[in-house]
């Protein structure tokens, strides 16, 4: 578990490079070819973009009860993320000098929403709503078509609720390349965000530099820190909620100083696995990255959490608020027995697009900041320039940059009224 990293085979990397190259060279034709090859769906160029009428029909045809909860979840996500919006700032640095930052949105963003096997409308909300709050002027979603060529009505309804500007029927490396470089149909974007299978993550790595990306995300992870107060049924259920995702490389770990809890969780995992619809997927994941670890105390448990730097941490302990103060490396922390990880996945309002595979040591969840950038502002005066000129010239000449030094000298030699 501690050595867990996102690694890709040379063969897979080479395959992704070929797909990107084909899309750059052949545009829509390549996107359609790879969609036919990988998704088994034969589309026309006109079908790559979902029309406004289709969005409206989806909103009307989707289950009204589901639309109601999607709207409620969107409201929660919007309310939480509005607190993240940063404002411009400036300081008076003396001598009439003003220094500051302007906070501006990234103009065009492409959001990757998996969904061939299940309608992941929650991921669309998690990516699109922060982008909308940031003020992005063009928000595009790429999501795979179902076998009949349609996109699930719940996904399209979520796109409408979140304020998405365009939805493309495409996914995989071909969609990443199309969004990064543009095609006859795809408008090129400035940043890509969102999860996806390994091919998508490799493609994101390959196009980084042409566009920005949020992160390279791997399979889901959870570490549950439990003490004697924990309900072993809850701990096991939460571990399985991540192990069932399907890649077989998800990680699910329980860390506890209580041997009785450890034994009870082990028993519960076996019992609950028997009734799980994705039993084989979960068993594969647990065989690779499943563990129950007994520590000497909760302090050692937190040390282990920081070593792993997992995507999700649950603290089902007597005083979770105090214990969480020691956590430095985690994507999200869930405190107390009611804070099951799926609460954050769907409804609390916090973001579920989180760093994995140890990336929580340096990375954060997707949020409003993901879709913002800073522009530094410098407003100098002649008075301050005269005071600073000697230092600037000395530094420039020490670096061998005569042009830099000269740009300051000519100002000292120029009368202020010119």
Q: What DSSP line would sit under 44-97, residue for residue?
A: -GGGGB--HHHHHHHHHHS-HHHHHHHHHHHHHHHHHHHTT----EEEE-STT-
Catalytic residue among 22, 221, 311, 314: 311
Q: How far apart are CA 49 and CA 54, in angstroms?
A: 10
The three-state secondary structure class of 217 is coil
Nearest one of 294, 148, 157, 154 to 226, comparing CA atoms:
294
Nearest one of 324, 299, 292, 364 to 130, comparing CA atoms:
364
Tell me phi and psi for residue 161, to 5 degrees.
Answer: -60, -40
Cα 367 from chain centroid (whole Å): 8
Catalytic residue among 81, 152, 234, 312: 312
Element (H, E) at 169: strand 166-169
Distance set, CA 369 to CA 217, 218, 288, 382 (Å):
18, 21, 34, 36
Concerning whether 311 is annotated as a catalytic residue, the answer is: yes
Tell me phi and psi for residue 213, to 5 degrees.
Answer: -130, 160
Concerning whether 329 is annotated as a catalytic residue, the answer is: no
Q: How far apart are CA 278 and CA 283, in angstroms?
A: 9
Q: Residue 196, Cβ neighbours under 10 Å: how many?
A: 23
Residues identified as active-site: 311-312
């Amino acid at each position: 578990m501690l050595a867990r990293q996102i690694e890709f085979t040379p063969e897979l990397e080479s395959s992704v490079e070929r797909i990107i190259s084909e899309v750059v060279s052949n545009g829509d034709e390549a996107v359609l070819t790879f969609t036919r090859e990988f998704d088994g769906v034969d589309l026309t160029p006109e079908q790559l973009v979902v029309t406004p009428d289709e969005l409206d029909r989806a909103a009307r045809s989707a289950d009204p009860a589901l639309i109601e909860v999607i709207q409620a979840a969107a409201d929660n996500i919007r309310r939480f993320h509005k607190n993240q919006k940063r404002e411009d700032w400036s300081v008076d640095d003396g001598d009439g000098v003003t220094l500051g930052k302007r906070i501006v949105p990234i103009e065009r963003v492409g959001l990757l929403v998996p969904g061939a096997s299940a309608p992941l409308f929650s991921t669309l909300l998690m990516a699109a709503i922060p982008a909308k709050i940031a003020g992005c002027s063009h928000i595009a979603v790429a999501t795979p078509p179902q076998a009949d060529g349609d996109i699930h009505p719940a996904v399209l309804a979520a796109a409408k609720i979140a304020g998405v500007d365009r939805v493309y029927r495409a996914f995989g490396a071909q969609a990443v390349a199309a969004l990064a470089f543009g095609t006859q149909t795809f408008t090129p974007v400035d940043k890509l965000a969102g999860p996806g299978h390994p091919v998508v993550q490799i493609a994101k790595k390959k196009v980084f530099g042409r566009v920005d990306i949020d992160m390279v995300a791997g399979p889901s992870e959870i570490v549950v820190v439990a003490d004697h107060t924990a309900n072993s049924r809850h701990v096991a259920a939460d571990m399985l909620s991540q192990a069932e995702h399907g890649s077989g490389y998800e990680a699910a770990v329980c860390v506890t100083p209580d041997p009785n809890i450890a034994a009870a969780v082990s028993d519960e995992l076996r019992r609950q696995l028997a009734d799980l619809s994705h039993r084989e997927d979960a068993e594969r994941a647990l065989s690779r990255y499943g563990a129950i670890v007994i520590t000497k105390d909760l302090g050692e448990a937190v040390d282990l959490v920081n070593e792993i730097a997992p995507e999700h941490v649950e603290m089902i302990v007597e005083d979770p608020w105090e214990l969480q103060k020691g956590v430095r490396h985690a994507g999200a922390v869930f405190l107390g027995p009611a804070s099951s990880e799926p609460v954050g996945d769907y409804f609390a309002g916090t973001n579920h697009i989180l760093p994995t595979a140890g990336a929580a040591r340096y990375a954060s969840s997707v949020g409003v900041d993901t879709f913002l950038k800073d522009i530094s502002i410098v407003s100098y005066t002649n008075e301050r320039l005269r005071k600073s000129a000697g230092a600037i010239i000395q530094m420039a000449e020490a670096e061998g940059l005569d042009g830099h030094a000269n740009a300051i000298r000519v100002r000292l030699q120029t009368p202020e009224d010119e």
